[in-house]
């Protein structure tokens, strides 16, 4: 090894240790200056010697300013949520239910419930290889580059006593002190403030620029280890092991042997949590033994072996100054209470949600009333009651829900059985028009590179009145607007050109048809295969599609009955947007794998693991995570997991390689 290489390696090891002492153990061993000097020295050496590049080097935590789009990744184990309880009575029910189901002694691990953003970290051979957000529980965003900037997350594990492959889950948090600092900074720069640390953490992690993420000093507490070869058969044991590997495992977790132990834990932390550096909103109780967890199993939404107890939300009293009515993208009108600013659970509250007309009516609100404001888990606090005793004779007008749209004056309507009023003037009401365009351009829809301000400018200038107008924009139009330079105008043109390749299902989602979200759009695209067929679909045909109900079907029909929408879609067709599934996807609709259950294991050379998963589904097969009696085939690559191999052999499940699989579906590369 050259002396430069040795120097680089020793600096890396030293810095990682400093990081660990500082961020995990909270006991710094060197001064900030010393740390910064060493980091700088390492950065310079790495720049001079790119041949020693290492993605796990401490310098990678600083974050480069290269923007990075997030790709979506499927979770190996779905990320479920927990059942919530709010009273000691509910906790007792959980405890007794567990005792009854298990019918043997058990232990409960009590932990704090951290109020941040859940994250899944995948380690292979002791290295962090991927960090994925919860997303919809099945798929999340790959945020590895951003997560690497969080210093309390080890990029390389300590020792060598860890499984070859495992997942660890926890919460990404923005400590209160950082949250306050960030909001002070934003106030100075007249930027909108973050409502709470969870919001700020989530906004930060979704930043496209890792250097900004690094500057915000996020932290991560881990609370759940998953995998096939875990060191212990208890939850607690695995967390203790993970602590040895270098993770920040909260040291407030306790093993409870009785219901009383659980109550004591709750009583203590309900008060003590106010002194913690991070936000918590409850307690999590988990059955300790993994065998018992397995016996208890899961419902479709959450594990039966765990439960969350939510602390009572904090309350404040303040004056209701006025109520405004906001009109959203789909015309839904939301009432918002403007309050005299009040401090509530650590943040200043100025606005609160009033939800809908029924709630306003039930509260019997008057302007000038003193109202009770509560902050539960939700981002926007809500008004839960009126302090009638403090209402004097000078109280203002009774708050009534508007019956005309505050933006365009159209009479509001309410769909049978729904609480919300909406403005039906979808093509003439400014916030709806702008909202539709904003939705159309978002990343998950057409991914056109403009934000709400540009949409506003283009609308105000009269250039864009609907989404089809975007494709008729000219560079000269843009240059006639303030703040537009040649380069940004060309970028927008390029982005519009690129959007012509966006697949049909996303085009369908982008149209913003009421109730047609991403998943529904995917289903409809697969079922009808082209816009033309979808436009002609009858109500019966629509509801016969899996998971498409009457409400969605009616909304789709209504959309395509409106002449203005028809014209819009036909213009989009003319401009060249994708209006059908590509040929290969249509071919792939064959069902050669129908009824067959696959497990994928190992690494592959011809296609990625995700591509194989997609192929299995496309050809009608089913893909599962673990080998069981129901498994028909194991699609095995290099280094197949030993436990899967053992199980497959025992159960006599057929193991096939990539070539054999591709031959099954006759798709060659």
* Catalytic sites, residue numbers: 113
Dihedral (CA of 18, 23, 27, 32) sign:
positive
Q: Which residue is nearest to ligand IVH (CB)?
A: 118
Q: Is 255 in the site for ligand IVH (CB under 6 A)?
A: no
User: Which run of H or of E encompasses 570?
Assistant: helix 563-575
| Contact letters for ligand IVH, residues 116-155 (x by CB under 6 A) | --x-------------------------------------
Say how many C-beta atoms besides its own lie within 10 A of residue 267's C-beta: 11
Q: Comparing C-alpha atoms, which of 434, 369, 371 is closest to residue 395?
A: 369
Angle separating helix axes 259-272 and 88-102, nearest 10 degrees: 150
Return the residue of 45, 82, 252, 543 that touches ligand IVH, per CB under 6 A: 82
**Neighbouring residues of 220: CB distance < 8 A, sequence distance ≥ 6:** 119, 147, 150, 152, 153, 170, 171, 172, 173, 248
Least Å distance, CB 141 to ligand IVH, is 15
Report the SS3 class of residue 347: strand
Instruction: Give the binding range for ligand IVH (CB under 6 A) out of 110-118, 287-295, 312-320, 548-556.
Output: 110-118
Query: Looking at 183-292, which runs of residues are DSSP E strands?
Result: 219-226, 254-256, 280-287
Return the residue of 78, 175, 237, 303 that touches ligand IVH, per CB under 6 A: 303
Least Å distance, CB 178 to ligand IVH, is 18
Least Å distance, CB 134 to ligand IVH, is 6
115 versus 614: smaller Cβ distance to ligand IVH: 115
Q: Is 111 in the site for ligand IVH (CB under 6 A)?
A: yes
Q: How far apart are CA 323 and CA 336, in angstroms?
A: 6
Least Å distance, CB 223 to ligand IVH, is 4
Least Å distance, CB 23 to ligand IVH, is 19
| Contact letters for ligand IVH, residues 210-249 (x by CB under 6 A) | -------------xx-------------------------
Using an 8 Å Cβ cutoff, are 121 and 128 in contact? yes
Strand partners, 398: 366
Q: Is beta strand 314-327 parallel, antiparallel or unpaired with respect to 382-386?
A: unpaired
User: How many Cα atoms are found within 13 Å in the side-chain-facing hemisphere of 307?
Assistant: 20
Q: Is 535 in the site for ligand IVH (CB under 6 A)?
A: no
Least Å distance, CB 170 to ligand IVH, is 8
Using an 8 Å Cβ cutoff, are 212 and 66 in contact? no
Least Å distance, CB 111 to ligand IVH, is 4
Q: Is 273 in the site for ligand IVH (CB under 6 A)?
A: no
77 versus 388: smaller Cβ distance to ligand IVH: 77
Strand partners, 220: 172
Least Å distance, CB 308 to ligand IVH, is 6
Using an 8 Å Cβ cutoff, are 232 and 241 in contact? yes
Report the SS3 class of residue 374: strand
User: How many Cα atoms are found within 13 Å in the side-chain-facing hemisphere of 199?
Assistant: 13
283 versus 423: smaller Cβ distance to ligand IVH: 283
User: How many Cα atoms are found within 13 Å in the side-chain-facing hemisphere of 317?
Assistant: 9
Binding footprint of ligand IVH, residue count (CB under 6 A) = 14
Report the SS3 class of residue 88: helix
Using an 8 Å Cβ cutoff, are 206 and 132 in contact? no
Instruction: Give the binding range for ligand IVH (CB under 6 A) out of 14-22, 80-88, 121-129, 549-557.
Output: 80-88
What residues between 159 and 198 interact with ligand IVH by CB under 6 A?
A: 171
309 versus 661: smaller Cβ distance to ligand IVH: 309
114 versus 504: smaller Cβ distance to ligand IVH: 114
Q: How far apart are CA 55 and CA 478, in angstroms?
A: 41
306 versus 513: smaller Cβ distance to ligand IVH: 306
Return the residue of 168, 262, 284, 510 that touches ligand IVH, per CB under 6 A: 284
Using an 8 Å Cβ cutoff, are 370 and 319 in contact? yes
Strand partners, 336: 324, 353
Return the residue of 18, 114, 311, 661 that touches ligand IVH, per CB under 6 A: 114
Instruction: Give the binding range for ligand IVH (CB under 6 A) out of 77-85, 225-233, 261-269, 393-401.
Output: 77-85
Q: Is 543 in the site for ligand IVH (CB under 6 A)?
A: no
Q: Is 94 in the site for ligand IVH (CB under 6 A)?
A: no
Return the residue of 17, 45, 62, 80 that touches ligand IVH, per CB under 6 A: 80
């Amino acid at each position: 090894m050259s002396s430069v290489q040795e120097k680089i390696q020793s600096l890396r090891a030293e810095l990682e240790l400093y990081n660990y002492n500082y961020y995990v153990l909270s006991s710094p061993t060197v001064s900030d200056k010393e740390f910064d000097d060493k980091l700088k020295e390492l950065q310079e050496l790495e720049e001079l010697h790119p041949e020693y590049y290492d993605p796990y080097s401490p310098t990678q935590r600083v974050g480069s300013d290269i923007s990075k789009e997030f790709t979506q990744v499927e979770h190996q184990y779905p990320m479920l949520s927990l059942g919530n309880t709010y009273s000691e009575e509910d906790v007792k029910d959980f405890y007794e239910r567990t005792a009854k189901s298990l019918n043997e002694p058990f232990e409960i691990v009590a932990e704090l419930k951290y109020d941040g953003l859940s994250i899944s970290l995948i380690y292979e051979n002791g290295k962090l290889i991927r960090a994925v957000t919860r997303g919809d529980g099945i798929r999340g965003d790959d945020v590895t580059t951003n997560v690497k900037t969080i210093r309390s997350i080890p990029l390389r594990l300590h020792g060598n006593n860890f499984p070859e492959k495992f997942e660890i889950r926890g919460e990404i948090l923005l400590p209160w002190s950082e949250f306050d600092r960030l909001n002070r900074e934003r106030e100075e720069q007249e930027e909108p403030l973050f409502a709470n640390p969870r919001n700020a953490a989530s906004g930060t992690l979704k930043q496209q620029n890792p250097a900004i993420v690094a500057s915000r000093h996020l932290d991560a507490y881990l609370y759940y280890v998953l995998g096939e070869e875990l060191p212990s058969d208890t939850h607690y044991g695995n967390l203790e092991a993970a602590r040895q590997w270098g993770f920040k495992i909260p040291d407030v977790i306790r093993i409870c042997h009785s219901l009383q132990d659980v109550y004591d834990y709750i009583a203590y932390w309900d008060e003590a949590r106010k002194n913690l550096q991070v936000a918590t909103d409850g307690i999590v109780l988990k059955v300790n033994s993994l065998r018992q967890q397995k016996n208890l199993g899961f419902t479709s939404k959450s594990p039966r072996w765990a439960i969350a107890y939510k602390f009572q939300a904090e309350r404040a009293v303040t004056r209701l100054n006025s109520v405004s009515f906001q009109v959203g993208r789909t015309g839904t009108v939301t009432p918002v209470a403007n309050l005299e600013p009040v401090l509530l659970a650590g943040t200043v509250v100025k606005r609160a949600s009033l939800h809908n007309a029924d709630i306003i009516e039930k509260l019997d609100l008057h302007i000038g009333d003193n109202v009770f404001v509560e902050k539960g888990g939700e981002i926007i606090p809500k008004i839960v009651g009126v302090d009638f005793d403090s209402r004097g004779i000078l109280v203002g007008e009774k708050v009534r829900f508007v019956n005309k749209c505050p933006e365009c004056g159209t009479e509001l309507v309410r769909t049978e059985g729904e609480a919300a009023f909406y403005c039906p003037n979808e093509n003439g009401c400014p916030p709806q028009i702008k909202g539709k365009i904003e939705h159309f351009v978002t990343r998950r829809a057409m991914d056109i590179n403009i934000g709400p301000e540009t949409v506003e400018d283009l609308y105000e200038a009269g250039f864009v009145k609907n989404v089809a107008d975007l494709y008729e924009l000219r560079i000269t139009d843009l240059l006639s607007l303030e703040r537009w330079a040649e380069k940004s105008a060309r970028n927008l043109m390029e982005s519009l050109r690129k959007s012509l390749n966006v697949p049909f299902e996303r085009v369908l989602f982008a149209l913003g048809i009421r109730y047609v979200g991403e998943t529904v759009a995917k289903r409809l695209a697969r079922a009808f295969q082209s816009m033309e067929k979808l436009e002609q679909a009858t109500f019966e045909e629509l509801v016969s599609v899996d998971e498409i109900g009457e409400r969605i079907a009616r909304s789709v029909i209504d959309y395509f009955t409106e002449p203005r929408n028809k014209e819009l879609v036909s213009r989009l067709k003319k401009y060249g947007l994708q209006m059908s599934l590509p040929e290969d996807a249509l071919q792939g609709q064959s069902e050669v794998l129908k009824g067959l259950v696959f497990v994928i294991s190992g690494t592959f050379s011809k296609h990625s693991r995700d591509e194989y998963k997609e192929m299995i589904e496309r050809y009608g097969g089913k893909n599962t995570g673990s080998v069981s009696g129901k498994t028909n085939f194991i699609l095995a690559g290099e280094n197949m997991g030993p436990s899967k191999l053992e199980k497959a052999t025992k159960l006599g499940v057929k193991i096939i390689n990539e070539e054999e699989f591709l031959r099954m579906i006759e798709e060659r590369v």
